[in-house]
Structure 1
Amino acid sequence: MREDPTGRALQLLSLLQTHRLWRAGELAERLEVTERTVRRDVDRLRELGYPVDATTGKYGGYRLATGAHVPPLLLDDDEAVAVAIGLRYAATTAISGIEETSLRSLMKIEQFLPHRLRRRVSALHGSVTSMPWPSDDHVVDPDALSVLAAACRDHENVRFDYRRQDGEHSRRLVQPHQLVTVSRRWYLVAWDHHRGDWRTFRLDRLREPRTVGTSFTPLEIPGGAASFVAQSIGPGLPQRSATLAVRATFAELDDVLRWIDHTPIGVEADTSLVQIHSEDLGRLAMAVARIALTAPVSVAEPAELADIVARLAAHLTVPVP
């Protein structure tokens, strides 16, 4: 039995933050304690402000719920660095109003980072330069993004007003399946009820999405969401590509590659070959760094990106004085 209540509570919190339903017996086995001790530790987390829901019965258990306020988050070193890096570069996205919010959040996180982690974040920021993007009106409403993301997750029909490329407006009723990002553009892949076919919608041309109170059974997107969008929009895809060798299987890389525009190439021994795409070398380097948090990675080509990543790695491993 684990005798460290604080360490055990942190481990319990880490398990609950996966937001799955955990049975008391499962938690007791993971923590090497009794179910009675699990109940006491859950009560301790509740006292600290973490909203833990409990259900009884044959399929009952514990789940971390959404509360009225944000309690402290538990992050390990790599997670803290990833969050700080993500917030810094969220300021360059095309989501309306997120730039200032991201920088405020970053300031709060960086002031609590240990010196060794702050040096890693600073080295990455100092080694990567983002290509300036011309200002335009093609920004995404964050509220609309939230509505559509929830509708994709919950399989709910959505109605919205849509402006086509020729300027014509129409009302659409769709089954939203997947959101896809291409450079700074956001797209929704959905089954259009009126057209009776799959359609791609640019989120910056979409207004006032709302659920209509009905659900649907999800379908299989032809070729996958990313490929469908690529075929739909044609020209205008990212201009730069790089080939990487990653010491992991594609299954192990699934969580990180889903956020990166990529094309699987193949597997050699214990190494996966993948091609990543973006509009400049700086963003390609960011993608390499993100993958490196999951598994060892090397740049096969182009050589100029390999040089950038080598300098980045050297800066990240500079010893602390």
Structure 2
Amino acid sequence: MAETTGRVLQLLGLMQSRRVWTSEDLADRLGVTTRSVRRDVERLRALGYPVHASRGHGGGYQLGAGAALPPLLLDPDEAVAMAVCLRLAAGGSVAGVGESALRALSKLDQVMPSRLRSQVSAVHDTTVTLTSPSTDSPVEPDVLMTLARACRDREHVSARYVDIRGNETQRRLEPYQLVTTGRRWYLLAYDRDKQDWRSLRLDRMSDVRAMGSTFVARDAPDAAAYVQMSISSSPYRYIARVRFHAPESVLAQHFSPASVTIEADGPHACIVTAGADDPERMIFYFATVGCDFEVLEPPEVKAAVGAVAERLHRAAVTR
């Protein structure tokens, strides 16, 4: 009986980790026959877990949503990760979830072993979250959860989106991955109408709906790198490439990864890519780093170096 119970719990854990399983895959993972899998599925159903079965291509067993939330099985790493995320969410980074996150965290903390609880406390005690009166618009929880599920299940979504100029469009998307900078959430998605990759801010999305149809995964760009490039360059009129005569470790202390991209150019130099609407403001920004630099492109930013230098020289000799 103990062996059967343990196998049923293992089966439940597998079904919670992936959307659809074939009986053959489950049998292989559990080391049993497909007949044993069918019996264990019936045991789960008897315990109140809604396990659906479908035939044909893409079919198999799927754990569905029930009338009540059934227990979830978490391994130690998952439990720690969930507790840390709940503590962050309780700080208000997602609209309306602070109180709910605290309630969920209290339930999780009650049943966590002391060794795992100490790991969560260590992360929390050594982490400080910076807040600002001008905090960006928080993401609606429904938007976040809908997109997270769609990324996991490779499901088409539709959404209304307002771009940086205030233009609203209807988007048909293949969502791939969510990226957060700590201040904002972004979605890496393939735009089916534009037939190209896009980085979309979640707080500018509304009426987000999962369409029920799935897509075959494409060769996607690295989500973090793509979003970083998008938010540091694409919204601006001028995109500058600048060689700084300093190692990457030094520049990383001055530039935020959400505002520029830094590429090593030998052991003692780096190429920084950044965007702005005003070239002269950009030069002042670069000068505050305190390292020698040269603007590689574009011509407008190169010209701004001379204009700023002349203005500073006049200020220096004025008596």
Give the shorter-chain TM-score range.
0.5 to 0.7
**Aligned: 1:208 with 2:214:** no
Q: Quick one: distance in 1 between partners of 2:229 and 2:41?
A: 49
Work out whether residues 155 and 217 of structure 1, in 8 Å CA contact, stay in contact via their aligned partners in 2: no
Work out whether residues 174 and 215 of structure 2, in 8 Å CA contact, stay in contact via their aligned partners in 1: no
Q: Quick one: distance in 2 between partners of 1:212 and 1:60?
A: 18
Aligned residue pair count:
240
Work out whether residues 163 and 206 of structure 1, in 8 Å CA contact, stay in contact via their aligned partners in 2: no
Aligned to 1:160: 160
Paired letter, 1:80? A
Aligned to 2:15: 16
Q: Quick one: distance in 2 between partners of 1:172 and 1:56?
A: 34
**Aligned: 1:62 with 2:67:** no
What SS does the corresponding residue of 1:111 show, helix, strand or coil? Answer: helix
Q: Quick one: distance in 2 between partners of 1:199 and 1:77?
A: 35
TM-score normalised to structure 2 length:
0.60
What SS does the corresponding residue of 1:17 show, helix, strand or coil? Answer: helix
Query: In the TM superposition, what is the alpha-carbon distance from 1:8 to its structure 2 partner?
Result: 2.0
Structural mapping, 1:144-293, within 5 Å = 144-149=143-148, 153-156=153-156, 158-164=158-164, 166=165, 168-178=166-176, 179-190=178-189, 198-210=197-209, 220=219, 223-234=221-232
Aligned to 2:95: 96
Query: In the TM superposition, what is the alpha-carbon distance from 1:170 to its structure 2 partner?
Result: 2.6
Work out whether residues 80 and 116 of structure 2, in 8 Å CA contact, stay in contact via their aligned partners in 1: yes
Which of these two proteins has the greater Rg computed from alpha carbons? 2
Gaps of 5+ in 2: 236-249, 254-260, 265-319
Query: In the TM superposition, what is the alpha-carbon distance from 1:71 to its structure 2 partner?
Result: 0.7
Q: Quick one: distance in 1 between partners of 2:21 and 2:190?
A: 34
TM-score normalised to structure 1 length:
0.59
**Superposed CA RMSD:** 4.0
Q: Quick one: distance in 2 between partners of 1:155 and 1:215?
A: 4
Higher RCO (CA < 8 A, seq sep 6+): 1
Change (3 A) 1:111 1:5: same
Q: Quick one: distance in 1 between partners of 2:28 and 2:212?
A: 41
**CA deviation string 1:85-140 (max 9, x = no partner):** 22112223632112222111101111112233323322332333333344535211
Gaps of 5+ in 1: 243-261, 266-321
What SS does the corresponding residue of 1:119 show, helix, strand or coil? Answer: helix
Q: Quick one: distance in 1 between partners of 2:63 and 2:213?
A: 27
Query: In the TM superposition, what is the alpha-carbon distance from 1:185 to its structure 2 partner?
Result: 1.0
What SS does the corresponding residue of 2:144 show, helix, strand or coil? Answer: helix
What SS does the corresponding residue of 1:158 show, helix, strand or coil? Answer: strand
Q: Quick one: distance in 2 between partners of 1:220 and 1:6?
A: 41
Percent identity of equivalent pairs:
44
**Mean CA deviation greater in 86-95 or 58-67:** 58-67
Paired letter, 1:77? P
Change (3 A) 1:186 1:240: farther
Aligned to 1:87: 86
Work out whether residues 84 and 121 of structure 1, in 8 Å CA contact, stay in contact via their aligned partners in 2: yes
Q: Quick one: distance in 2 between partners of 1:124 and 1:264?
A: 30
Aligned to 1:284: none
Change (3 A) 1:36 1:226: closer
Q: Quick one: distance in 2 between partners of 1:133 and 1:74?
A: 37
Change (3 A) 1:114 1:160: same
Work out whether residues 154 and 215 of structure 2, in 8 Å CA contact, stay in contact via their aligned partners in 1: no
Aligned to 1:38: 37
What SS does the corresponding residue of 1:4 show, helix, strand or coil? Answer: helix
Aligned to 1:276: none
**Mean CA deviation greater in 53-62 or 100-109:** 53-62
Paired letter, 1:96? A
Work out whether residues 172 and 194 of structure 1, in 8 Å CA contact, stay in contact via their aligned partners in 2: no
Q: Quick one: distance in 2 between partners of 1:264 and 1:41?
A: 53
Change (3 A) 1:111 1:42: same
Change (3 A) 1:263 1:46: farther
Q: Quick one: distance in 2 between partners of 1:174 and 1:161?
A: 10
Query: In the TM superposition, what is the alpha-carbon distance from 1:205 to its structure 2 partner?
Result: 2.7
